[in-house]
Structure 1
Amino acid sequence: MNFTYSDKVKQYEQKLLRFMDDYVYPNERLYKEQLDPHNRFAKTPPIMEELKQKAKDQGLWNLFLPDSEYGAGLTNLEYAPLCEIMGRSSIGPEVFNCAAPDTGNMEVLVRYGTEEQKQQWLHPLLNGEIRSCFSMTEPDVASSDATNIRTSIVREGDEYVINGTKWWSSGAGDSRCKIAIVMGKSDTKANKYEQQSMILVPLDTEGVTIKRMLPVFGYDHAPHGHAEIEYKNVRVPASNIIWDEGKGFAIAQGRLGPGRIHHCMRIIGAAERALEELCKRVENRQAFGKKLAEQGVIQEWIAESRIEIEQARLLTLKAAYMMDTVGNKEAKAEIAMIKVVAPNMALKVIDRAIQALGGAGVSDDFTLAASYANIRTLRLADGPDEVHRRAIAKYELQKYR
């Protein structure tokens, strides 16, 4: 395995670093200030569209799609350091049209969508004109086991009728969110992994109701947000089915592999920024007669953080390398491992940074508190730690059978 970055990646890296310094970091606070205080989901802060246009103009757009006619043609390994840079800011990924859940939804449409579906939904998503959400998790079942899902997708003539309630449909609060990919059961008598289907549902379809927005540790993540959505007798054309009936579980597995590793790449960027904020702070603060940076316990925190970040980065790169060389299925153990390792690592690093900053660490003056809340959800999203650990143990035991 050779993790040396190519000249192409190094050029992208330098452009991204410069762009983040010049445009993204200086506008993080303005982005928050431009949210409508009366309805934080009413509109997108104008600065975001300005930044997106600048990123487009500089060719920093849709970098996430590997070997695709639609993207930059980067491999997962090449994309990793770039995604890490974007992940240093909560608004960074969207600026470059590399934000979840749009990235996963676009990959689904690239892989499995019909030409009609691509024209209607993929191209506007690739252009950053609209956004999307992914409706899989349900409030009434343990959705970490996707076979539990109860939402029904039933064919009636030239239409499908959808009934069910979903929650944690991230992005549905955004006024630009126009389409949902909904997972539900189309045949309860089929094999347990062939009962599910995925279907495209425009959010303005009759019967679609956003019941409420769900905060995360008090953060509403506006204007993106996480919604509970009711689908009641929702009718869409039969042509909206993705791939075919019974393929929902297979699509989910194909979608979640890249989605999981992209989260890990971004998480490493967030951890790096936390360590950076820690180091800057302790170099400039004194307590008990000497700089905080000279305190033994602080030095231990810094050393442990550097070690853990490097370990997580190497495992991420290995998983990305395997996805590129032997495919997502063969890389499933490495993907599962890094999905456990990265969020837990970042939470430890961020927690140390919060402790070093004291009261400032839990305030909104720094990025740490919001970053901690966001990354804590990633021990649940795309499969909780326990499910991944179960899978890892299963793969390991298979070697001895």
Structure 2
Amino acid sequence: MGNLERVVVVGASAAGVTTAETLRREGYTGRLTLVGDEEALPYDRPPLSKQVLAGAWEPERTVLRPESAYVDHDIELLLGNAACGLDLARRTVALSNGEELGYDGLVIATGTTPRTLPSGHDLAGVHVLRTVGDALALRGDLLRSSAVVVVGAGFLGTEAAAAARQLGLDVTLVDPLPLPLVRQFGDRVAAAIAELHEERGVRLRNGVGVVRLHGEGAVSGVELTDGTVVRADVVLVAIGAVPATGWLDGSGVPVDDGVVCDATCRAADGVYAAGDVARWFHPHFGGLMRVEHRMNATEQGMAVARTLLGAQTPFAPVPYFWTDQFDAKVQAYGVFPAGAEMSVAHGRLDERKFVAHYVVRGGVVGVLGWNMARQLRQDRQLVSGPPDGVRTGRTPGSAPRSA
């Protein structure tokens, strides 16, 4: 383990917690500090837009580990402290409370921050959804309201729209793309997602953008690019997120849509990245990838811990992610690049129980299952890297085409 006397993990996220736990489990006995900008104990984020927002879970159920677990593993928690600077030469991290932390190994696991609309975010009733506080504030407003507009029809937007509709609200889902999740899964699966939402009463306004939010003090409506105004007591802005790398400005750590890393997730001497913030070279798929999905956070945190302890194994997982909406559980392995041919291999798409293969030049690069988990697990082994000469260079979520 060399001279690894102190490891600092910045980001009390799933990736950060997994990194710290794996270090201890693999035998690291040095000083270990986990830094988080929120006061709350580290928690899981995927349930926020589903179980917590719908009221099926209390927020406490999302907590990853009880406080005693950090004590038992001798992990020093510094919560409510944001990292605000990094000095590579001195190997120090500056915190918002004025302290500096020295390190021998540093793991960046700061995740992402939500994008917002250019204006109107200060109106009451306008929300983003990233933290447990965001989820509780949004749920509180939903329970006092009757009409919600969700801006953005990606994973977060469609999941939140489903949860709001299940609470009995009048829900409108707005996105400039022609179908929800079309960039992620292509037009045929996206059309099935659209039909699912429409059958459950969600109003889809695809192919239009947002001009401005209306209201004085509190939001009252959303003006769209086609000139219509949709009534809204609540607006959720779910237009994506950007890697939380501002604190690294001027540090010398390479940043380009995330912390740029090699195949072992190393960004600089003694510095590694894991989770949503990491953009690393994936040798299997032949390009830089940044994956904003829960399973990747766990797997990458484990890989980074082992690399810190001397392993030099490239991080090359088959990405896995899922979304739960109404009675649909959609799961996927691999990547879904623009131009991939999609075909249904098992089941029937119109019955919403199927497995689809996404193919590039004869090679399966992604498999997707809709309420067909067992067959999907079997088909996972078919996923391979792209054929020679094809470089995806994309995270799961660009637009395939249907065969």
- Class of the TM-score when normalised by the shorter of the 2 chains: under 0.3
**TM-score, reference length from structure 1:** 0.25
